Amino acid sequence: MPKKAPHKYNKNTLLRMQIVVDIYLKHKDESNTTVGVFRKYIEPYYPMSIGTLYNYLSTPIDRELKAIESKSEQLELFK
């Protein structure tokens, strides 16, 4: 079975993911569970499933953004 290529995200999607992860990290502590933070602070403003939040948390957002920026810089060289 062939390997799947890593998922590529749009820049705006990555920026939204970064906002959601920042909200999560701001409110997550020992007294708040992941589901509690999701229901109280994230879901009312960014409608998504808990599975989507877990995907956001496991995505290397900074690395993906740097890859997009370096690709756009490379394209600038050929103009």
Q: What integer is the mean pLDDT of 24-49?
A: 95
Return d(Cα 2, Cα 73) in angstroms, integer: 31
- Domain residue ranges in the chain: 11-77
Higher pLDDT, 69 or 41: 41
Give me the percent of the chain exceeding a pLDDT of 70.
Answer: 84
The per-residue pLDDT for range 27-38, each reduced to its tens digit, is: 999 999 999 999
Higher pLDDT, 2 or 49: 49
What is the pLDDT, as a whole number, of residue 71?
79
pTM: 0.79
Nearest in space to 39 (alpha carbons), one of 48, 54, 17, 31: 48
